[in-house]
Amino acid sequence: MTDYSGIHTSVLLERSIELLGPALGRPGAVLVDCTLGLGGHSEAFLEAFPELHLVGLDRDPNALRLAGERLERFSDRIDLVHCVYDEIDEALEGLGIDEVDGVLFDLGVSSMQLDEVERGFSYSKDAPLDMRMDDTAAFTAAEIVATYSEADLRRIFRDYGEEKLADRYARFIVRARDEAPILRSGQLVDIIQAATPAKFSNSGHPAKRVFQALRIEVNAELSVLERALPKAIDALVVGGRIVVLAFQSLEDRIVKRELTKRAASTAPAGLPVELPEHRPELKLLVRGAELADDDERARNPRSIPVRLRAAERIRRIA
């Protein structure tokens, strides 16, 4: 049997179990792992809660296959579904599940996808400009680079990569593609490096934010998350819990906004008594966003940027 522990180390695993655990102890409890990946978090939950039923969602067919092999011994307690996680409501309906006790999101690109050179996610290795999390989808990073206007390239580099040199990089890419198609990550890195002024040479790899922006655009990551979070919260029973691990600020802002909004009273200002229908839907379980501790950061460098947020559902809207 494949040893997956060396392939991927799950981030904030023990803390996720600690936060979700109080909602998962009853017989028949259901946990939705919205980002199944290689199944590291799911495996730990299934081991920790012998009567837990797991629904694992992933847009990557290869991840589903590998996770299915890893979780084979739990086959009578799992349902794995090929879908993007903003389809959580449809996935649950298809399984005949009305409510769930826990939801976990481990956002961003998976270690497996980063490590598969041919997927084109990494700026450090030359590969086709792909970046699809679901390799059955049609839209690739190469198409964006080839067809987006300079203004649209500038927009995604600025909005999704928070790139200060968005204007310059977009201009250089358009100029380069007029001379020859840009089909590989190495070509794009060369263009970005040539466009980067010397004074920015010590600010990390110049392609990092551009590659992040392209990946987000290819997979519609932010809009998918904005649709998925409300659906996931709506699926929770009263007493159910949600944990979200975000690895970049754009995702974390969306998570913070949705959880904070639902954890606030909707009573109009000045109302002397809070009516039941104005009470918050959620109770926040952590103060702000939690980070991995020093030990985990040293043990697993991919945990360094993580931001964890969690909440419990305390009221259901009629």
Instruction: Indicate the annotated binding residues for S-adenosyl-L-methionine.
Output: 39-41, 58, 85, 106, 113
DSSP 8-state class, residue 28: T
Which residue has 């598969």 as its token pair?
116
Measured over the CA atoms of residue 289, residue 295, residue 297 and residue 299, the dihedral's sign is negative
Half-sphere exposure (CA, 13 Å, Cβ side) for 266? 11
Q: Are 255 and 246 in contact (CB under 8 A)?
A: yes
- Hey, what are 316's tokens? 């259901």
Rounded Cα distance, 276 and 150, in Å: 52
Which residue numbers belong to the known binding site? 39-41, 58, 85, 106, 113
Task: List residues bridging with 312 in a β-sheet.
Answer: 241, 283
Where do the DSSP E strands lie in 88-247? Answer: 100-106, 236-246
Q: Are 48 and 117 in contact (CB under 8 A)?
A: no
* Backbone φ, ψ for residue 43 (5° rounding): -60, -45
Rounded Cα distance, 118 and 233, in Å: 35
12 φ/ψ sector (left φ>0, alpha ψ -120 to 50, else beta): left
DSSP 3-state of 285: coil
Which residue has 């998925």 as its token pair?
228
